[in-house]
């Protein structure tokens, strides 16, 4: 018996649209990461990028449980002394609604060149409009 791996030119990444309105942030992010990795396909291999393109709309209306809106903090450091920038989830959703989903999904993907290639297939938009109509994405219910 030999294991048959699919070749990159044989694999095809489909395009899907996910509506994040009213969905829980963590559960949605884990299901999106699962699709970006390609683990839902029978030809999955951990060393290959077999995932689909995911377009997420209505990212600003994602919900969280508990008091995470005020208690969850996102930190960013520029590398200079005294330049730690911190913001809450509530402020992040108001100013940049797509970043909450992007940060959550990015943390669930593999680290390194393969994970970065998978992450580039994620397209998140705060509203319900997106510029990917030409790819004819199918609706995906998660």
Confidence check: pLDDT of 22 > 90: yes
Q: How far apart are CA 63 and CA 44, in angstroms?
A: 31
User: Residues 18, 140: contact at Cβ < 8 Å?
Assistant: yes
Q: Name the residue among 135, 113, 106 with its Cα closest to residue 48.
A: 113
* pLDDT on residue 7: 84
* pLDDT on residue 9: 80
pLDDT tens per residue, range 58-76:
999 999 999 999 999 999 9
Q: Tell me the torsion sign for CA atoms 29, 32, 37, 43.
A: positive
Sheet holding 15-19, edge to edge: 122-124, 53-57, 15-19, 138-139
**DSSP helix/strand/coil, 98:** helix
Mean pLDDT of the chain: 95
pLDDT tens per residue, range 1-11:
888 888 878 88
Domains and CATH numbers, the chain: 15-139 (3.90.1180.10)
**Mean pLDDT, residues 46-69:** 95
Task: For residue 121, count CB atoms less than 10 angstroms from its CB and return exposed for 0-12, middle for 13-18, buried for 19 or more.
Answer: middle
Q: Name the residue among 51, 49, 61, 44 with its Cα closest to residue 14.
A: 51
Structure tokens at 87: 């913001």
Structure tokens at 12: 């095809």
């Amino acid at each position: 018996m030999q294991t048959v791996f699919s070749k990159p030119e044989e694999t095809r990444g489909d395009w899907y649209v996910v509506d994040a309105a009213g969905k829980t942030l963590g559960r949605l992010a884990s299901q999106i990461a699962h699709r970006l990795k390609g683990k839902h396909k029978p030809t999955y291999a951990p060393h290959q990028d077999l995932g689909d393109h995911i377009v997420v709309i209505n990212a600003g209306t994602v919900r969280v449980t508990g008091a995470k809106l005020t208690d969850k903090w996102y930190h960013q450091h520029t590398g200079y002394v005294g330049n730690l920038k911190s913001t809450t989830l509530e402020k992040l959703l108001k100013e940049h609604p797509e970043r909450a989903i992007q940060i959550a999904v990015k943390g669930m993907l593999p680290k390194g060149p393969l994970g970065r290639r998978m992450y580039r297939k994620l397209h998140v938009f705060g509203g319900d409009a997106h510029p990917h109509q030409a790819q004819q994405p199918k609706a995906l219910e998660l």
